[in-house]
Amino acid sequence: MADKTARSTDFDVVIIGGGPGGYVAAIRAGQLGLKAACVEADKLGGVCLNIGCIPTKALLSSALLVSELKSADGHGITFDGFDVDLGPAQKRSRTVANRLSNGVSFLLKKNKVEHVEGYGRLLGGGRVEVENNGQKRTITARDIIIATGSRPRSLPFLQIDEERIWSSTGALFQKKAPGSLVVVGAGAVGMEFADIYNAYGTRVTVIEALDRVLPLEDKDSSRVVAQSFKRRKMDIFTSARVKNTEVISDGVAISFTDKKGKDHRLEVDYVLSAVGRIPNTEDVGLERAGVRLTERGGFVAVDEAMRTSVPGVWAVGDCAGEQLLAHKGMHEGVVAAEHIAGVGHHTVDYGNVPNCTYCHPEVASVGLTEEQAREKGLDIEVGKFPWAGNGRALAAGDSTGFVKVIRDKRYSEVVGAHIVGPHATELIAEFVMARHLESTVEEIDRAMHPHPTLSEAVAEGALGALGRALHI
């Protein structure tokens, strides 16, 4: 914690960036009695609330409803002239995003955090320059938190223009589903948008350089999602290399080589580049202030308490590396604020950060994959419970996928958990809590789960890792 008697400043702490990491750090600082300011040039909430997590999930909710309506006759619902229109769904997604962004403004005011509108840059010596509409002012603080986020990555052969070659931002603002779309990158972002556009009638092709979709997930999870997407008539090419993209008169020509070495050339309406993100660390004054960046990736280098190489300067969220996830950034924001206030007692457990993909079927995981556990030489037992054995899933007509639990035999702790299927992104929190508390799989089973619920599959997965599942 900085010496608060050393000098007079405008604020105790200034946060540059109002995304999940930044605004949460600001709120926590306010709760701890620090005089805080949050500098943000755009809408509060950052990428996640405005052009990322939240509006995308709103679109995915619409897409799921569209998919369910296609089989509504099984519920005794019939109608004439079934038609879909992306426009109203896109409009609804903006309404949801705007509501939450306005909510962040309320929370800052509630916690006595000043929202300083403008673009913030470090000047060194505890000074921050804020530029707004051509006007510049300097504010001072004893501590400064960098929370400048990240942006979509462009590649030499895949240059984003948001006209024909979209980033996730461009894909989010379309009011009409195109006839055809190629998605380059089969991570969470790529698979979610593939799901959305397929539901609204677009012919979707997915191209992934690695050997499977969702390459960070367990292989079993990747396989089930790929099979599901293919059943929906999406073409998927893995171990493929994009060679070139060319904007033509009425679309984009994309050339790539598949895993067998065969060349392909597709002419489609649009291409979505979903090949990752890079940190926003340029033009923030980091070099001038002496803040060190990592050699790989250009992220801000931080220690376990989110301190940078310069005393009094901290960094959280995407710009600080590790997993580029909103919930990870929020936790880092709390850690930084508490250490600045002198009450810090914990750090972020990067080995227990959940991954979530909100396509249908949903995918969620925490901890090690089966392959990673075996590579580490752990003596493991794997339990896998299919949704086909769960009454609630069957009743809902959503029984694709499984719950998979990887148990370390030595202490019977959960070293990894993987869920594909209904509400996977909600259910994974039970395993996150279990791992945080170092629970054994026996303890997960003995905590009574209500029937009939999806949560029963969590207990059954735990039992499966003991070799004694009850309902398969």
Scanning 354-408, the segments in alpha helix (DSSP H) are 370-375, 391-396
- Helix crossing, 86-110 with 53-69: angle to 10°? 140
Question: Which SS3 state, helix, strand or coil, does residue 36 take?
Answer: strand
Of 322, 328, 295, residue with least CA distance to 432: 328
CB neighbours of 293 closer than 8 A, spacing ≥ 6?
281, 286, 299, 300, 301
Q: Which DSSP helix (H) or strand (E) runs through 460? A: helix 456-464
- Residues in the chain, total: 472
**449 exposure class (CB count in 10 Å sphere: 0-12, 13-18, 19+):** middle
CB neighbours of 408 closer than 8 A, spacing ≥ 6?
373, 378, 379, 380, 414, 415
Q: Which DSSP helix (H) or strand (E) runs through 225? A: helix 219-231
Tokens 């500098």 -> residue: 39
Per-residue CA distances from 138 to 130, 145, 280, 344, 456 (Å): 6, 16, 21, 29, 56
> Distance between CA atoms of 358 and 350, rounded to whole angstroms?
21
346 in active site: no
Question: Which SS3 state, helix, strand or coil, does residue 142 take?
Answer: strand
Catalytic residue of the set 327, 360, 451, 471: 451
> Distance between CA atoms of 311 and 94, rounded to whole angstroms?
40
> Distance between CA atoms of 267 and 273, rounded to whole angstroms?
16
What's the N-to-C CA distance of the chain in angstroms?
A: 55
Cβ proximity of 196 and 63 under 8 Å: yes
Catalytic residues: 451
